[in-house]
Amino acid sequence: MTPSPGRARADAAPALAVRAAVPERDVDLDVEVPPGEVVAVLGANGAGKSTLLALAAGIIRPGSGTVHVGGRAVADGARWVPPHARRVALLAQEPLLFPHLDALGNVAFGPRAAGTPRREASRRALELLEQVGAGHLAGRRPAELSGGQAQRVALARALAPGPDVVLLDEPLSALDVGAAAELRQVLRHVLREAGRAAALVTHDLLDVLAVADSVVVLEAGRVVERGPALEVLSRPRSAFAARLAGVNLVAGTLAGAGGEAVVRTGDGLELHGLPDPACEPGTAVAATFSPRAVSVHRAPPGGSPRNTVPVTLDALELQGELVRVRGATPGGHRLAADITPGSVAALDLAPGARVLFTVKAAEVSIYPA
């Protein structure tokens, strides 16, 4: 797997390495999570995502191959380390907290069971609850927590024993949009920014953008694509990554703020858009917009405040009643527009045509990347 830019040390063992097959599921995987890196695991239903987590967590045994956690073999022909001794933590869709313990007790449970003295375990538990924005909930029992609050506590509990790798199985999918957005930022903070290694199974583009350093895409039990998150999403090769992206995505740096926000790329492309509140000027961001929001022109549209980008077309394909027109900017950013067959004819579009794509700033969403 491509090492993480800057963070993974070439000499450090991967936090997780699964090179294993489960023949009865027709799954044969080769997936690595470098130290300090969050890897998003993507794929359609039945692609093998849960099987990957189950192999890592020790819920199923591989038919052949090996599983390593923090450089230590936890499953191979000769060895089998049970789940509790693997130094992995699993966060599922449902928080599954102990109902009779308060939040602090839930988070301190793992360290206490491992022999940490009570006072030290409580201190550490409170620190983690504060990191996930749940310090004020320390004394509450699970029945007194909202879904989002309970999932924060479950996250703190997963982190408490100091696992080598955190496994997250669609951790936001049971939450409403608002709670999911908040927890997504918490995950970004405690995983990606804190340099904790994790494998995150998700179906959500926003999770990938906010939390993941890199992605692996699974299809029919095999890895079909892997690489840095923005690279895979902006130049998807697998059908699944293309569908997930489903949008135009341009990575760059944020300049300005609010109504004046601009994403600048290294090759001179600028896109005005609406930034997510979590975006900060000067940081890496991704501008996204739907192909349906793009208009195609042969000449610059007069007096328009829209973003205007030169594109050389390389493909036209029918998508329902519209034609998806694809091409690349001079800097190599791949973009798509969905327009009517009538427009395609009127503009005389064909591969090789040089056109201008325009999109209103109000149609461009900017997310932290």
Ligand X SMILES: Nc1ncnc2c1ncn2[C@@H]1O[C@H](COP(=O)(O)OP(=O)(O)OP(=O)(O)O)[C@@H](O)[C@H]1O
Question: Footprint of ligand X on this chain (CB under 6 A)?
Answer: 24-25, 27, 43, 45-51, 221
Sort 138 into a burial class: Cβ within 10 Å, 0-12 / 13-18 / 19+: buried
Alpha-carbon span 334 to 327, nearest angstrom: 6
Instruction: Return the number of the residue (53 or 245) whose C-beta is nearest ligand X.
Output: 53
Instruction: Return the number of the residue (240 or 357) whose C-beta is nearest ligand X.
Output: 240
Instruction: Return the number of the residue (50 or 116) whose C-beta is nearest ligand X.
Output: 50
Residues in Cβ contact with 291 at an 8 Å cutoff, skipping those fewer than 6 apart: 247, 248, 324, 336, 337, 338
Tokens of 108: 């301190």
Instruction: Return the number of the residue (212 or 355) whose C-beta is nearest ligand X.
Output: 212
- Rg (C-alpha) for the chain, rounded Å, is 23
Instruction: Return the number of the residue (51 or 106) whose C-beta is nearest ligand X.
Output: 51
User: What is the smallest separation between the CB atom of 203 and ligand X, expressed in angstroms?
Assistant: 7
Instruction: Return the number of the residue (45 or 305) whose C-beta is nearest ligand X.
Output: 45
User: What is the smallest separation between the CB atom of 54 and ligand X, expressed in angstroms?
Assistant: 7
Instruction: Return the number of the residue (145 or 200) whose C-beta is nearest ligand X.
Output: 200
Q: What are the CA-CA distances from residue 272 to residues 100, 347, 363, 365 (Å)?
A: 51, 26, 9, 9
User: What is the smallest separation between the CB atom of 133 and ligand X, expressed in angstroms?
Assistant: 28
User: What is the smallest separation between the CB atom of 144 and ligand X, expressed in angstroms?
Assistant: 31
User: What is the smallest separation between the CB atom of 29 and ligand X, expressed in angstroms?
Assistant: 10
User: What is the smallest separation between the CB atom of 199 and ligand X, expressed in angstroms?
Assistant: 12
The edge-to-edge listing of strands for the beta sheet with 284-289 is 270-272, 262-264, 248-255, 284-289, 365-368, 274-275
User: What is the smallest separation between the CB atom of 93 and ligand X, expressed in angstroms?
Assistant: 10
The edge-to-edge listing of strands for the beta sheet with 64-69 is 27-33, 16-22, 64-69, 72-75
Tokens of 1: 């797997």
Q: What is the distance of C-alpha 357 from the center of its chain? A: 28
User: What is the smallest separation between the CB atom of 49 and ligand X, expressed in angstroms?
Assistant: 3
Q: What are the CA-CA distances from residue 189 to residues 157, 173, 210, 278 (Å)?
A: 16, 19, 10, 11
Q: Where are the alpha helices (DSSP H) in the chain?
A: 49-57, 103-113, 118-131, 147-159, 177-187, 205-211, 229-234, 239-245, 341-346
Question: Which is it for strands 16-22 and 64-69: parallel, antiparallel or unpaired?
Answer: antiparallel
Instruction: Return the number of the residue (203 or 297) whose C-beta is nearest ligand X.
Output: 203
DSSP 3-state assignment of 83?
helix
Taken in order 202, 70, 185, 147, is the CA torsion positive or negative?
positive
User: What is the smallest separation between the CB atom of 25 and ligand X, expressed in angstroms?
Assistant: 3
Instruction: Return the number of the residue (88 or 279) whose C-beta is nearest ligand X.
Output: 88
